[in-house]
Amino acid sequence: MPTTEHSTSSKQDALADEARALMAATADVAGEKVAEARQRLTAALHEAEAAVGRLGHRAIEGAKVADHTVREHPYTVAAAAFGVGAVIGFLLTRRCSK
């Protein structure tokens, strides 16, 4: 899973870099529509960076809650994981035997 996370992150960084390069390349281009498009692109980049930051913060908080729950109730979590695994195994075995 870390590979997907890094891949997505690098793709987002590349997209942001390309958008910044486009803005730099059109810096000397005059025109109301170009200026408006640059403003929208700048706003979209700021919104995307803020959203990624919020998402990362929420993911970290969720991981902390999960870690706390596992540390507080290890046997309950182990039993639940075993039960879920047993149900999935049962369903897969039943499906494969048909």
Predicted local distance difference test score (pLDDT) of residue 1 = 44
Q: Is the pTM of this model over 0.75?
A: no
Cβ distance 52 to 10 under 8 Å? no
Residue ranges of domains in the chain: 2-73
Task: With both helix axes pointing from N to C terminus, report the angle between 32-72 and 2-25 in degrees, rounded to the nearest 10.
Answer: 160
Within 10 angstroms of residue 1's Cβ, the number of other Cβ atoms is 5
Question: Using one digit for the tens of pLDDT, what is the confidence trace for 8-32?
Answer: 677 777 877 877 787 777 777 777 7
